[in-house]
């Protein structure tokens, strides 16, 4: 009887196809991923069923758990112009603002959120750009009636937006929008305080947005992040 | 590795004399570490990607100087008072002395609003004539406000307003939703 020969098959698995697939996926994820900007303020936003996307050109007024106010402008060009306009407004009260260097002003772009008194600004802008993302000691933008700096920030941002619109020639562009971003547990009175500033003279903004996360099981921002130490 | 190493068949030929053979190098490259790396990176990017993008709600507040007087029937109005601990007090028209409570669940305030819509539809011919007045107490959270505005959107309520809470209402809440004095309608 002839021997039955066991056919020896190669144990080598061709990995090329798998590499192709995995790198295709990798490329896809890298290209579609948009890193969440490192925000020093952790905001766990409430959810809503709204389907309106977040406007592109906006200023964001953030109200954190303790009711502290932060201000930020999305567009970097408008952001710098806002600071320049605000500098003029406050240079009489704080002469130090007049001496802001171009480097300091450029550094302002790297500031993810602004939550300080205006007198602290030159000091904050001396901090190297790399460390700005991890700033912790916020005092919040003052909003009391005697010293309403938030109002001036809003006004400056609107002015800067109009200037940018003229310079870029996009006159039909929609005006800068105001968006309020609050934490779930923020006391509603803090938010109403902001709304009051917006709707009253001289700001007079009656349409604005509330930023919320999409109705879903878990908010990603809430997962495993500690609130900043006060 | 992805292959099992087997001893080379021609290994003994090294020791023999004869021709010097140039060693044949395999052209096969082992891709396994590359796949490992690729999948590691994929996992990293998948885990760090924020899947839920934020959305925006639009809120319109009335202008102060626009004193447009509209004719409002009492039966069109429902007042919602957002209290602490996710509690909602509500009363119809001016019946502030008899408030009821509800919550943010789907069968809570939404049902109340739908019922009122039906009622308004019957009395005034159009359910969209319902007017919701939202008032927030000191203890309410921002989440409550967003939830109730979201509820306006869900129930398709066209007319709603955010107002400051009145003293009488605060008193009624403290009193468990009831007031002894029946206020005279203005």
- Interface check B30 vs A, CB under 8 A: yes
Asked if the Cβ–Cβ distance from A213 to B146 is below 8 Å, we say: no
Residue A223 has what pLDDT?
39
Residue B184 lies in a domain: no
Range of the domain at B152: 74-174
Token digits of residue A183: 């934490």
Average pLDDT over residues B151-156: 87
The shortest C-alpha distance from A96 to chain B (Å) reads: 37
Q: How large is the ipTM?
A: 0.72
How many domains does one find in chain B?
1
Residue B115 lies in a domain: yes
- Interface check A225 vs B, CB under 8 A: no
Residue B68 lies in a domain: no
Q: For residue B157, what is the domain's CATH number?
A: 3.30.420
Residue B58 lies in a domain: no
Eight-class DSSP state of B13: G
Select from A15, A20, A28, A68 the residue whose CB has the most chain B CBs within 10 Å, as the one to mutate to test that interface: A15
pLDDT tops 70 at residue B14: no
Calculate the CA B9 to chain-centre distance. Answer: 68
Which residue on chain B is closest to A62 by alpha carbon? B142
Closest Cβ opposite residue A212 in set B51, B141, B146: B146
pLDDT tops 60 at residue B95: yes
A10: left (phi > 0), else alpha (psi -120 to 50), else beta?
beta
**Confidence band, pLDDT 50/70/90 cuts, at residue A101:** confident
Residues 64-123 of B with CB under 8 A from A: 64, 82
How many other CB atoms are found less than 10 A from the CB of residue B176? Answer: 10
- For A63, the enclosing helix (H) or strand (E) is strand A58-63
The shortest C-alpha distance from B9 to chain A (Å) reads: 14
Residue B169 lies in a domain: yes
Average pLDDT over residues B95-116: 85
pLDDT tops 80 at residue A85: yes
Return the ∠ at Cα B153 (arms to B151 and B159), rounded to 5°.
Answer: 100
Radius of gyration of chain A, Cα coordinates, nearest whole angstrom: 25
Average pLDDT over residues A25-43: 75
Residue B129 has what pLDDT?
84
Residue B109 lies in a domain: yes
Residue with the larger pLDDT of the pair B5 and A192 = A192
pLDDT tens for residues A169-185? 877 788 888 888 888 88
Residues 116-135 of B with CB under 8 A from A: none
Select from B55, B163, B164 the residue whose CB has the most chain A CBs within 10 Å, as the one to mutate to test that interface: B55
Task: Return the biggest CA–CA distance within chain B.
Answer: 121
Average pLDDT over residues A65-73: 87
Q: Where are the domains of chain A?
A: 47-214
Q: Which of A125-129, B58-62, B102-106 has the lowest mean pLDDT?
A: A125-129
């Amino acid at each position: 009887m002839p021997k039955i020969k066991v056919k020896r098959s190669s144990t080598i698995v061709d990995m090329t196809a798998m590499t192709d697939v995995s790198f295709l996926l990798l490329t896809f994820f890298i290209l579609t991923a948009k890193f969440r900007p490192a925000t020093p303020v952790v905001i766990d936003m409430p959810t809503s069923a709204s389907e309106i996307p977040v406007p592109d050109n906006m200023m964001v007024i953030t109200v954190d758990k303790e009711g502290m106010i932060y201000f930020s402008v999305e567009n970097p060009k408008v952001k710098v112009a806002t600071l320049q306009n605000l500098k003029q407004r406050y240079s009489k009260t704080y002469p130090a603002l007049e001496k802001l260097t171009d480097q300091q002003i450029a550094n302002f772009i790297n500031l993810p959120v602004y939550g300080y008194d205006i007198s602290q600004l030159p000091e904050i802008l001396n901090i190297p750009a790399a460390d700005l993302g991890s700033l912790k000691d916020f005092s919040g933008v003052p909003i009391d009636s005697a010293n309403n700096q938030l109002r001036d920030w809003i006004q400056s941002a609107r002015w800067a937006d109009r200037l940018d619109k003229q310079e870029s020639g996009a006159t039909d562009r929609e005006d800068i929008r105001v968006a309020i971003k609050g934490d779930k547990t923020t006391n509603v009175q803090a938010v109403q305080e902001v709304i009051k500033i917006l709707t009253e003279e001289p700001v007079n903004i009656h349409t604005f947005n509330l930023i919320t996360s999409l109705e879903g099981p878990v908010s990603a921002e809430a997962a495993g992040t500690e609130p900043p130490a006060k | 590795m992805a292959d099992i190493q087997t001893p080379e068949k021609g290994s003994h030929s090294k020791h023999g004399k004869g021709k010097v053979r140039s060693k044949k190098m395999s052209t096969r490259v082992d891709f396994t570490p590359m796949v490992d790396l690729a999948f590691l990176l994929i996992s990293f990017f998948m885990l760090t990607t924020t899947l839920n993008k934020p959305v925006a709600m639009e809120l319109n507040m009335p202008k102060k100087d626009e004193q447009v007087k509209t004719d409002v029937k009492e039966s069109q109005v429902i007042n919602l008072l957002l209290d602490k601990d996710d509690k909602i007090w509500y009363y119809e028209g001016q019946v502030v002395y008899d408030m009821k409570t509800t919550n943010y669940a789907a069968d809570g305030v939404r049902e109340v609003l739908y019922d009122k819509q039906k009622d308004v539809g019957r009395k005034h011919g159009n359910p969209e004539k319902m007017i919701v007045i939202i008032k927030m107490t000191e203890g309410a959270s921002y989440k409550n406000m967003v939830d109730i505005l979201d509820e306006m959107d869900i129930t398709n309520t066209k007319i709603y307003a955010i107002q400051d809470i009145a003293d009488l209402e605060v008193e009624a809440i403290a009193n468990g939703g009831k007031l002894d004095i029946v206020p005279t309608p203005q």
